[in-house]
């Protein structure tokens, strides 16, 4: 959530949950501080590989370019293999414990950020779109370098030093821009953070979901999934972003991640989400691809089924209007179906 030693906006929420009889655990840990080392190192390695290519060392350029491309692709797929080599900062999250995964029964957890990113001012802004274009260009350059270096090594292409110098300059600029990139801005407050005591499935079978309350930084989700890997083994996550400023139609993620290697949301989980929404009267949600480093991406990269539910901003609701109570019923309906699955009332999703 917030850095240690500063005012923690989750403190009041923790106190309120305790007063309502909901046991929660404050987990404190350290996460890599910005700037992220993995993408910057990936660009630096690619830039060095391009310089080697310009110098006539095509074999070394191939190895360097391939290494840089692997680092960038791992970062785009939800992993940051080099970030832990850099400086750390203190963080904390709130966790409401739930029912553990069993042999055939998988745990369910709700991810509730305190601030939302899926808003017009943050994710859907022009600045965010330009950042994604830069990242796409970096992917293309990083993948093209080992291909051309290999072609030069095998003598399928002649050596052309100016091309190597141009690629070195381009990747160096992209690395510098990534190094200087500020943290993702905080969006509006998340209404779902006030639903925690109401996000309970129907009675029966003793099923309770885990609840993660975090600031909105994906690094905190990585910590949670690492610390609770045994209780949540091969479970599923539902991430809720309902910003106070949004009153548009419901939406859900269909894919999450970079355009080269997006993770597709599990079809059974999508069917469960749509079925629960239909039951409580939520208009059919818009299925949207999220081309960003998201909490759902982090979860899917680690073997979990995950989906993100949110509301769009700045659109005329019309017949798609639904109140907050319906949104709460939607999430509870999904949890009810998860509880039913644990009880053996259905074996698979349609």
Contacts of 348 (CB under 8 A, 6+ apart): 268
What are the φ and ψ backbone dihedral angles of 31, each rounded to 5 degrees?
-125, 160
Cα separation of 52 and 164, whole Å?
A: 8
Residues 43 and 147 in one domain: yes
Residues 313 and 337 in one domain: yes
Residues 319 and 278 in one domain: yes
Cα separation of 36 and 34, whole Å?
A: 5
Any domain includes 148: yes
Residues 97 and 224 in one domain: yes
Q: How confident is the model over 73-86, as pLDDT tens digits?
A: 999 888 888 888 88
- Mean pLDDT over 312-338 rounds to 78
The pLDDT of residue 321 is above 70: no
Q: What DSSP designation does 124 have? A: T
Residue 113 has what pLDDT? 94
Cα separation of 167 and 157, whole Å?
A: 16
Quickly state the pLDDT bin for 313 (edges 50, 70, 90). Answer: confident
The lowest-confidence range among 21-35, 171-185, 194-208, 286-300 is: 194-208
Q: How confident is the model over 16-25, as pLDDT tens digits?
A: 888 777 888 9
Residue 27 has what pLDDT? 92
Any domain includes 1: no
The pLDDT of residue 202 is above 70: no
Residue 176 has what pLDDT? 94
155: left (phi over 0), alpha (psi -120 to 50) or beta: left
CATH of the domain at 322: 3.40.630.10
Residues 321 and 191 in one domain: yes
Residues 49 and 67 in one domain: yes
Of 89, 94, 263, give the one whose Cα is nearest residue 183.
Answer: 89
The lowest-confidence range among 12-26, 152-166, 168-182, 333-347 is: 333-347
Quickly state the pLDDT bin for 277 (edges 50, 70, 90). Answer: very high
Which is more confidently placed, 8 or 348? 8
Residue 166 has what pLDDT? 94
Most confident stretch, 200-214, 235-249, 305-319: 235-249
Residues 302 and 165 in one domain: no
The lowest-confidence range among 65-69, 129-133, 194-198, 336-340 is: 336-340
| Among candidate residues 161, 180, 199, the one where a domain is terminated | 180
Cα separation of 112 and 29, whole Å?
A: 18
Any domain includes 20: yes
Any domain includes 3: no
| Among candidate residues 180, 200, 219, the one where a domain is terminated | 180
Residues 114 and 190 in one domain: yes
Residues 143 and 239 in one domain: no
Any domain includes 348: no
Counting the structural domains of the chain, the total is: 2
Residues 95 and 80 in one domain: no
Q: What DSSP designation does 182 have? A: P
Any domain includes 229: yes
This prediction has a pTM of 0.88
Residue 248 has what pLDDT? 80
Residues 283 and 155 in one domain: no
**Six-digit token string for 161:** 């030093």
Any domain includes 169: yes
Residues 108 and 136 in one domain: no
Q: What are the CA-CA distances from residue 141 to residues 50, 252, 254 (Å)?
A: 10, 32, 27
Residue 4 has what pLDDT? 39
Q: How confident is the model over 285-310, as pLDDT tens digits?
A: 999 999 888 999 999 999 999 999 99
Domain limits for position 300:
11-33+90-118+186-342
Any domain includes 300: yes
């Amino acid at each position: 959530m917030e850095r240690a030693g500063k005012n923690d906006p989750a403190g009041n929420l923790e106190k309120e949950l305790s007063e309502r009889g909901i046991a929660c655990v404050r987990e404190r840990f350290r996460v890599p501080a910005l700037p992220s080392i993995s993408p910057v190192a990936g660009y630096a390695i690619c830039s060095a590989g391009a310089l080697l290519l310009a110098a006539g060392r095509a074999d070394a350029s191939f190895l360097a370019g391939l290494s840089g491309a692997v680092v960038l692709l791992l970062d785009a797929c939800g992993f940051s293999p080099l970030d832990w080599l850099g400086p750390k900062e203190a963080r904390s999250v709130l966790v409401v414990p739930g029912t553990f995964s069993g042999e055939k029964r998988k745990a369910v957890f709700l991810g509730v950020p305190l601030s939302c990113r899926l808003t017009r001012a943050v994710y859907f802004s022009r600045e965010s779109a330009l950042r994604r274009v830069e990242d796409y260009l970096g992917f293309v350059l990083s993948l093209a370098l080992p291909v051309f270096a290999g072609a030069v090594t095998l003598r399928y292409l002649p050596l052309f030093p100016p091309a190597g110098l141009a690629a070195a300059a381009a990747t160096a600029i992209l690395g510098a821009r990534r190094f200087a990139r500020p943290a993702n801005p905080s969006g509006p407050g998340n209404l779902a953070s006030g639903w925690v005591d109401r996000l309970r499935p129907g009675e029966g079978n003793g099923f309770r979901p885990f609840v993660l309350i975090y600031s909105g930084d994906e690094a905190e989700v990585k910590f949670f999934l690492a610390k609770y890997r045994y209780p949540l083994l091969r479970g599923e996550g539902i991430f809720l972003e309902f910003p106070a400023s949004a009153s548009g139609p419901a939406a859900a993620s269909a894919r999450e991640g970079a355009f080269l290697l997006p993770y597709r949301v599990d079809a059974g989980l999508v069917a469960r989400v749509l079925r629960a929404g239909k039951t409580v009267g939520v208009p059919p949600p818009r299925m949207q691809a999220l081309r960003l480093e998201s909490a759902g991406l982090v979860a899917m990269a680690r073997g979990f089924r995950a989906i993100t539910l949110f509301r769009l901003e700045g659109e005329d609701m019309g017949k798609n209007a639904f109140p907050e109570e319906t949104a709460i019923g939607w999430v509870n309906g999904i949890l009810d179906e998860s509880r039913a699955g644990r009880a053996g009332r259905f074996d698979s999703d349609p």
